[in-house]
Amino acid sequence: MEDNKLQALNLPPIQPRLAERADGRPAIFDVIRRRYVALTPEEWVRQHFVHYLLEHKGYPSALLANEVQLTLNGMSRRCDTVLYRRDLTPRLIVEYKAPEVEITQRVFDQITRYNMVLRADYLVVSNGLQHYCCRLDYHRHSYSFLRDIPAYGEL
């Protein structure tokens, strides 16, 4: 993935730190994990979205985690990004897809399965071009889609 092949997304532009791995593959610096990771189309979306949350929505980096491991039905899975409350319970989870991957019911089913373990209040799905956010109401056993990703202060 060379610079000229990096797809423009429906997110504010970022100034990514790019590098080349020893094997010649491209890498991008993950500001949450504080290390370079393989630059895949999905990672390109993740880094843009995380910067959007940090710089435009006021999310504290100390409460965000990428690639959060969880066990679902006895199998190890990884949730793309989790925002925690100060008591370290999950508040919001995000599932990323590459820009060419359509956001379908299957994607929502995936994040819903992760949330059976995490029980976050907000679920976000993005392929960098389309973003969906829903708020869960556990007391009423319902959910509602929001028009925008809420700012941290609105959660």
Q: What total of structural domains would you count in the chain?
A: 1
pTM score, two decimals? 0.93
Determine the 3-state secondary structure of 10 from DSSP. coil
Q: Has residue 9 been placed in a domain?
A: no
Domain range holding 93?
A: 41-154
Q: Do 121 and 133 contact (CB within 8 A), yes or no? A: no
- Model confidence pLDDT, tens digit, residues 19-52: 999 999 999 999 999 999 999 999 999 999 999 9
Q: Has residue 93 been placed in a domain?
A: yes
Q: Has residue 137 been placed in a domain?
A: yes
Domain at 140, CATH number:
3.90.1570.30
Q: In what order do the strands lie in the sheet with 131-137?
A: 64-72, 75-84, 90-96, 122-126, 131-137, 142-146
